[in-house]
Amino acid sequence: MKLARTRSTAAATAVLAVLALATACNREGTDSVASGGDKPAIGIDLPRSDSDFWNSYAQYIEKDVKSDGVNALPISNSQNDVTKLVANVQVFQNTGAKAVVMAPQDTGAIASTLDTLASKKIPVVSVDTRPDKGDVYMVVRADNRAYGTKACEFLGKQLGGEGKVAEFQGALDSINGRDRSEAFAACMKEKFPKIKVFELPTDWKGDVASAKLQSLLAQHPDLNGIYMQAGGVFLQPTLALLEQKGLLKPAGQKGHISIVSNDGIPQEFDAIRKGQIDATISQPADLYAKYALYYAQAAAEGKTFKPGKTDHDSTIIKIANGLEDQLPAPLVTKDNVDDKTLWGNNVG
């Protein structure tokens, strides 16, 4: 991930120049930088574009940058590649960023980059993911352990405390994947010991989840529950596979496989209305964008925050390497799926 130390200074400079050009070409959305007047420049990296959730987040970022007059540098997308993220951050440094917004998908591999930014006095806001090491000004995130617990409690009740459940685990090198998986397992062990859970690591990849589910169904055709840790990548391949096998029965019908998801994208809401899945936990893409930019601008202006309740229905907690604002993430079922306050009902 780092340039080899044996390369000459000239070669290294040339490589950085190429990276800068590549990153500029890797922009999402329009090529114009928001008009921020004399506001400090903010570097923003989007984490990936293969997820409906993160594509919604990108839309909110673009919208809020324009509406709030954020002085944003050209927005980059690291495409779930920590090497690209490191290169994109280097470009932000070189082009005058006073704060950086990122969402590192590999939360362990970003530590040295965070150390570099700290040495340059460039504060970092991490969205949705909490870096394992390295200073962060603020993590903007929901309580991911609560995701796993809520999913467990809902699914356990749906199954009457007995059955077989497939769990599509996110990448376990990600704090989110670990938090959701550990909480789901602990809850199942404590509250629903008669439910057999099949843990399927997926690295947040829908094709991997689909392939593993197909193999599992061959061995356990009586599977009656699924927990998807990210509907944005797992929903469509899962529904397609179940439909192909004649297992996509609507809720309430005999043979229905109870499914609970995480994300809160419009596609999940449609699936709940159709009875294809039973619930999702709404991860607040709109608030992630809003407060990521809010804290980035505050950081660039030298403002500070303390642990405690906020004025936006969340709680800031102290973590080992900074602070974390834990935003609300409600459970969505057929009973509240049409609630207009849910961001999934307000995005194209």
Q: In the chain, which residue ranges form alpha helices assigned H by DSSP?
A: 9-25, 52-67, 82-94, 111-119, 144-158, 175-191, 206-219, 231-244, 266-274, 285-300
**Is there a domain that residue 200 lies in?**
yes
Residues 6+ apart with CB under 8 A from 49: 28, 55, 58, 77, 79
**Confidence at residue 84, expressed as pLDDT on a 0 to 100 scale:** 98
Q: Judge if 278 and 291 occupy the same domain.
A: no
- Domain containing 77: what range? 9-128+285-303
**Is there a domain that residue 159 lies in?**
yes
Q: Judge if 159 and 276 occupy the same domain.
A: yes
- CA 55: distance to chain centroid? 11
Share of the chain above pLDDT 90, in %: 84
Q: Which residues of 174-205 are buried (b: 16+ CB within 10 A; e: fewer)?
A: bbbbbbbbebbbebbeeebeebebbebbbbbb
**Confidence at residue 108, expressed as pLDDT on a 0 to 100 scale:** 87
Q: How many CB atoms lie within 10 A of CB 83?
A: 13
Q: Judge if 272 and 294 occupy the same domain.
A: no
Give the separation between CA 208 and CA 230, rounded to whole angstroms.
13
**Confidence at residue 348, expressed as pLDDT on a 0 to 100 scale:** 63
Phi/psi of residue 120, each to 5°?
-90, 0
Read off the pLDDT of residues 2-41 as tens digits, 9 standing for 90 and up. Answer: 333 333 333 334 434 434 444 443 444 333 344 455 899 9
Contact 44, 73 (CB under 8 A): yes
- CA 190: distance to chain centroid? 27
Q: Is the pLDDT of residue 69 over 90?
A: yes
**Is there a domain that residue 98 lies in?**
yes
Here the tokens at position 296 are 């980035």
Residues 6+ apart with CB under 8 A from 306: 316
Give the separation between CA 312 and CA 292, rounded to whole angstroms.
13
How confident is the prediction for the chain on average, in pLDDT? 90
**Confidence at residue 81, expressed as pLDDT on a 0 to 100 scale:** 95
**Is there a domain that residue 325 lies in?**
no
Q: In 100-143, which residue ranges form alpha helices assigned H by DSSP?
A: 111-119
Q: Judge if 159 and 275 occupy the same domain.
A: yes
pTM of the shown model: 0.80
Q: Judge if 153 and 187 occupy the same domain.
A: yes
**Confidence at residue 107, expressed as pLDDT on a 0 to 100 scale:** 86
Q: Is the pLDDT of residue 255 over 70?
A: yes
Residues 328-343 have a mean pLDDT of 95
Give the separation between CA 108 and CA 80, rounded to whole angstroms.
13
Contact 81, 309 (CB under 8 A): no
Residues 205-231 have a mean pLDDT of 97
Q: Judge if 155 and 276 occupy the same domain.
A: yes
Q: Judge if 177 and 259 occupy the same domain.
A: yes
